[in-house]
Structure 1
Amino acid sequence: MEIHVVVAPVFATNCCVVVAGGDCVVVDAGAGVAAQVALLVEDHGWTPRAVLATHGHVDHTWDAAALCDRYDVPLRIHQADAYRLADPFGTLGLGPAGGVSGALRQAVAALGLAPEDYRAPAAVVPFGDAGDDGAGTLEAGAVRLQVRHAPGHTQGATLFLTPDAVLAGDVLFAGSVGRTDLPGGDPAAMRATLREVVALLDPGLAVVPGHGPTTTVGQELATNPFLG
Structure 2
Amino acid sequence: MMKIKALSVGFIGANCYIIDFDDNNIALIDPGDEGERISREFDGKKLKWILLTHGHADHIMAVNMLKEKFNPKIIVSINEKEIIENPELNLSKQFGIPCSVKADLYVQEGIIKLDSHKVRVLETPGHTPGSVIYIIENYMFTGDTLFKDSIGRMDLPGGDKALMKKTLRRLSEIEVDYTVLPGHGPSTSLKREQKNNPYFISFL
- Whether TM-score is above 0.5 comes out as yes
The aligned residue for residue 115 of structure 1 is: 97
What is the Cα deviation at residue 139 of structure 1?
A: 1.6
1:124-149 per-residue CA deviation (whole Å, 9 max, x = no partner) reads 32112x2xxxxx11222343211100
Match of 1:190 in 2: 164
Deviations 1:137-167, CA, capped at 9 Å, x for gaps: 1222343211100000000000001122100
* Aligned residue number for residue 221 of structure 1: 194
Percent of aligned pairs with the same residue? 27
- CA shift for structure 1 position 203: 4.7
Larger strand share, 1 or 2: 2
> Hey, what's the Cα distance between the residues in 2 that align with 1:224 and 1:56?
25
Q: Map Cα deviations across residues 40-92 of structure 1 (whole Å, 9 max, x no partner).
A: 11x2x32222111000111111101111222112211101111122222x115
Structure with the higher helix share, 1 or 2: 1
TM-score by length of 2: 0.90
Instruction: Let me know the Cα RMSD of the aligned residues.
Output: 1.9
Q: Report deviation, 1:201.
A: 3.0
Residue pair 1:55, 1:78 contacting (<8 A) in 2 also: yes
- Listed as ranges, the gaps of 5+ residues in structure 2 are none
Give the aligned partner of residue 68 of structure 2.
69
Q: State the distance in 1 between where 2:100 and 2:89 align.
A: 15
Task: Determine helix, strand or coil for the equivalent of 2:17.
Answer: strand
Q: How many residues align?
A: 199
Describe how 1:54-203 pairs up with structure 2 within 5 A: 54-88=53-87, 90-92=88-90, 101=94, 105=95, 114-116=96-98, 118-121=99-102, 124-128=104-108, 130=109, 136-196=110-170, 198-203=171-176
Shift of 1:31: 1.7
Between stretches 78-87 and 209-218, larger displacement belongs to 78-87
Structure with the larger RCO, 1 or 2 (CA within 8 Å, 6+ apart): 1
- Structure 1: which 5+ residue stretches go unaligned? 106-113, 131-135
TM-score by length of structure 1 reads: 0.81
Q: Distance in 2 between the 1:36 and 1:201 partners? A: 35
**Could you say which residue in structure 2 is the equivalent of 1:39?**
40
SS in 1 for 2:107: coil
Deviation, 1:170, is 0.2
Is the 2:54–2:130 Cα contact (8 Å) retained in structure 1? yes
CA contact (8 A) 1:50 1:68 kept: no
